[in-house]
Structure 1
Amino acid sequence: MFDNKNKYPSGESAGQPLRNPVSVETHQDARGYRLQRVRQQLLAADCAAILLYDPVNIRYATDTSNMQVWTLHNFARYALVFASGPVVLFEFHNCEHLHEGNELLDEIRPAINWSYFGAGSRISEKAVVWADDILAVLHQHAGGKARLAVDKADFEGLELLQQRGLCLVEGHSLMEEARKIKSAAELELMRWTIAVCERGIQRMHDELRPGMSENQLWAWLHYENIRHGGEWIETRLLASGPRTNPWMQESSDRIMQEGEILCFDTDLIGPYGYCADISRAWTVGHVPPTAEQRKLYRLAHEQIQHNMDLLRPGLSHREFVERSWDIPAAYLHNRYCCVVHGVGLADEYPALAHKGADWASSGYDGVFEENMVLCVESYIGEQGGAEGIKLEQQVLITRDGCQALSHYPWQDDWL
């Protein structure tokens, strides 16, 4: 938990990394729970297995990690998880040693890379070898012609699997449903990532000075994440002054000036692969805000608090959106892309559209459940305005309502 009386959690100094409080038993409990969730979804969908290529899904089901960002765009490793059978990881060349001691894995086989990067002009040849290999493993452990869920794959591979008699099922949604409910052990892993993220936020707060670039400041969040065993940061959403309006501008070499607004969105993938997704806003130099800056901040904070107060188990998505905070007309055009979204190993289902036209075009219903983790979003900035404020809070749905998982302080003296 963040201690407002000290600049860093747990009373430690900037020079010392935090001590990881997660036990081996907690980590093992989390990985076992996640595999069970995947298998429950497969059984409910009458699928023999799921073929996973998304590295985040592979991490969720097998707790293996290898070149996560690289394999987001290079299809070089994959996994087959059976509903009632083994977990088979197809790993990148000579990387079997990375997973020693992982009790979830029943077999590690060499991956067959048939992307253009790996196969060049031999794509079709290598894809046939890949499809035959997948079919052989399915026949060995499932027998006969099976229903196979797939989270993502190139069309040529899908056609080859279908030609071999497999009934393919869209698997990304199955994984999202599995991932949406967190166990107590998962929450402990996530709290550790949030503590690491808050250390990075505080480091940015303390290093922030007029005359430095946005990129220089943003580097401190990466520094704290990496030195604590974190993995990557999904975006570079940090902006100052006029670049805060409209939102979604990533960090640059712009030199920040005293008194300007500085906003950021962490999107941090930390230790154990969990996400800490938090937004805060300050002034450069930590000088008192102007009346306009204070107004923008107060409205964004009000939106966050109002919508947090609504969240509870059993509430439908539609009802939540209908009762959500009314964005004043002056700020409606620049509204954030969603009201809330799920979060776990990354941003996850659901992502709920705003009321009105947004809901009519892209809203979908569902129900909030206990132990879902959400991020509550706000961006307040007038179209054509000088600056804007981006805030976000990561929360847990409990049986009694909504509980903040991030304890990094707001700018209470701005409210």
Structure 2
Amino acid sequence: MEYLISEEKIAKIRTYRSQRVWDLMKEHDLDFLYLWDYGNTRYAFDIMPRFHPESDGALMGYLISKEGVVSVLLSDSFVEHHPYQPGGLYDPAKPGAVWTPDSVVRSSGSESYMRSVPTRWARLTAEAINANGPGAKRIGFDGILDLGAFQALQKLTPGVEYVGMGFDMAKTRMIKSAEELELMEASCEVHNRVLWKGMSEVEPGWVDFQLASRMAQLFALEPSVEQHCLNITYSYEPGGAMGMIWSPIGRVYKEGEVISSDCGIMTFGSATTDYGRTRILGETTTKIRDAYNWNILNCHELLTKIKPGMKISAMVEMFIDAHEKRGMPLVMLGHGLGTNMDEMPQMNPADKQEYDAVLEENMVLCIEPTCVVFDDTHGPQLLWFEDQWVVEKDGLRRMAPLSYFDIDDKDLATMK
């Protein structure tokens, strides 16, 4: 385990994040806030609650009182084999945090077990509420673990108004502190070194599984990486989601084709990365080469025009228009990033989102313009790449800039 920035700065990140969560509770006049969502628990407490979002998590959630007292609900197996210790992984009072831990660790069962005994989680949550603030009137939830369990909790807490807080938590996480940005950029540097090495090794004849396996191996050797949690090798497929297959399928890479690697990691201190590169293997047709170059150069040209104060939808429309004129419609554009690899703001046209975020300083964006070129020799090829950008006073700045295969950096509008 290794932090990429000093532990003093890690503590400042915890202070910044936990204080923003506490301020949100006060803003919404909450007596308690229950956090279970993967990104939110990482944000508020700097913990890894489950090995993967789809796995059966050991952590059932944190219940925060308006005084900042935090009750922890864990699974039986965690309590039995990993006794709670102050200063440990699941301790809400890590250096820098504003939280005070409850003296009781409540064993509520794992997620799958809870569904067979939903009243147990409800009873223990109600017990924590009564112990740290009897008479509560408003309790925020960032998500419902199980509808039956939640309904059981409602019966045990009559008179309480439950408030959905997932959307507000997502908005809170969009603005980063200086230390968060430093950690994210340092994480990108690790990511990009590994990404470039792995992509450079691929040769015609490789199978997409080999590329994914190589990336996993390289990231596993990095001491700062808490988890390697995204490993995609895009390929065009008319029947796939958005016309593409995301995961390895046994595709054999051939000379002249376009290959992709979209990876994400989480580093210690709760920062994520989402960088990716496309590469043409060997010689290809002029049509593919021109389309590949245009997608990258056009993106950088458009990004010189993006400024704080613009709405996300305005940026999206710029890309849609450019791709329509080129005859290569935009498939996807990007998203925000923080303690999750894919979070707000989401990059969609105005008519496809309820919250059209305004770009603010210290937001971090993953921009990944994706399109398809149809070639007579090599067939349809998916064109894609991804970079992380931070919104600054005068525009966007690329975090830990990584070169592109077969593109000279001096030709990029954002580098001039």
Could you tell me the TM-score, scaled by structure 1's length?
Answer: 0.83
2:226 aligns with one of 226, 231, 236 = 231
Contact 2:236/2:243 (<8 A) preserved: no
Residues 312 and 168 of structure 1: CA distance in aligned 2, closer, same or farther (over 3 Å): same
Equivalent residue letter for 1:351: Q
Residues 196-240 of structure 1, C-alpha deviation per residue, up to 9 Å, x if partnerless?
211221221332122222111222322232222323344432146
Structure 1 match to 2:154: 162
Listed as ranges, the gaps of 5+ residues in structure 1 are 1-16
Equivalent residue letter for 2:38: P
Structure 1 position 400 matched with structure 2 position 394: yes
Equivalent residue letter for 2:286: A
Instruction: Give, in whole Å, the separation in 2 of the partners of 1:148 and 1:175.
Output: 14
Instruction: Give, in whole Å, the separation in 1 of the partners of 2:200 and 2:290.
Output: 24
Report the more deviating stretch, 94-103 or 151-160: 94-103
Q: Considering only aligned residues, what root-mean-square deviation do their CA atoms show, in Å? A: 2.9
Superposition pairs of residues 339-350 of structure 1, within 5 angstroms: 339-346=333-340, 347-350=342-345
Contact 2:60/2:110 (<8 A) preserved: no
Equivalent residue letter for 1:48: D
Instruction: Give, in whole Å, the separation in 1 of the partners of 2:197 and 2:244.
Output: 23
Equivalent residue letter for 1:319: A
Count of equivalent residues: 384
Residues 51 and 196 of structure 1: CA distance in aligned 2, closer, same or farther (over 3 Å): same
Structure 2 match to 1:381: 372
Query: What is the Cα deviation at residue 170 of structure 1?
Result: 0.9
Equivalent residue letter for 2:299: I
Structure 2 match to 1:250: 247
Contact 1:303/1:378 (<8 A) preserved: no
Residues 83-117 of structure 1, C-alpha deviation per residue, up to 9 Å, x if partnerless?
432122223322324436824451361330274x3
Instruction: Give, in whole Å, the separation in 2 of the partners of 1:61 and 1:72.
Output: 21
Structure 1 position 41 matched with structure 2 position 31: no
Instruction: Give, in whole Å, the separation in 2 of the partners of 1:308 and 1:278.
Output: 17
Contact 1:331/1:383 (<8 A) preserved: no
1:215 aligns with one of 209, 217, 225 = 209
Instruction: Give, in whole Å, the separation in 2 of the partners of 1:349 and 1:230.
Output: 23
Residues 188 and 257 of structure 1: CA distance in aligned 2, closer, same or farther (over 3 Å): same
Residues 377 and 106 of structure 1: CA distance in aligned 2, closer, same or farther (over 3 Å): same
Q: Percent identity?
A: 22
Residues 46 and 248 of structure 1: CA distance in aligned 2, closer, same or farther (over 3 Å): farther
Structure 2 match to 1:109: 105
Query: What is the Cα deviation at residue 382 of structure 1?
Result: 4.3
Residues 241 and 65 of structure 1: CA distance in aligned 2, closer, same or farther (over 3 Å): closer
Could you tell me the TM-score, scaled by structure 2's length?
Answer: 0.83
Structure 2 match to 1:129: 120
Structure 1 match to 2:311: 316
Residues 19-73 of structure 1, C-alpha deviation per residue, up to 9 Å, x if partnerless?
8541111111111111111112111112122211223211111112243316755
Give the structure with the higher percent strand.
2
Residues 127-176 of structure 1, C-alpha deviation per residue, up to 9 Å, x if partnerless?
32322322232233333133111112211122123222221111211220
Secondary structure at 1:304's aligned position in 2?
Answer: helix
Equivalent residue letter for 2:37: D
Instruction: Give, in whole Å, the separation in 1 of the partners of 2:107 and 2:308.
Output: 42
2:385 aligns with one of 386, 391, 407 = 391
Secondary structure at 1:32's aligned position in 2?
Answer: helix
Contact 1:59/1:65 (<8 A) preserved: yes
Contact 1:318/1:364 (<8 A) preserved: no
Contact 2:334/2:365 (<8 A) preserved: yes
Instruction: Give, in whole Å, the separation in 2 of the partners of 1:412 and 1:173.
Output: 41
Residues 268-293 of structure 1, C-alpha deviation per residue, up to 9 Å, x if partnerless?
33343322112211123xx2443122
Structure 2 match to 1:267: 264
Instruction: Give, in whole Å, the separation in 2 of the partners of 1:390 and 1:343.
Output: 18
Structure 2 match to 1:336: 331
Instruction: Give, in whole Å, the separation in 2 of the partners of 1:349 and 1:361.
Output: 14
Structure 1 position 56 matched with structure 2 position 56: no
Contact 2:47/2:270 (<8 A) preserved: no
Instruction: Give, in whole Å, the separation in 1 of the partners of 2:394 and 2:292.
Output: 28
Instruction: Give, in whole Å, the separation in 2 of the partners of 1:158 and 1:150.
Output: 10
Contact 1:52/1:78 (<8 A) preserved: yes
Instruction: Give, in whole Å, the separation in 2 of the partners of 1:143 and 1:336.
Output: 51
Instruction: Give, in whole Å, the separation in 2 of the partners of 1:57 and 1:72.
Output: 17
Query: What is the Cα deviation at residue 379 of structure 1?
Result: 0.8
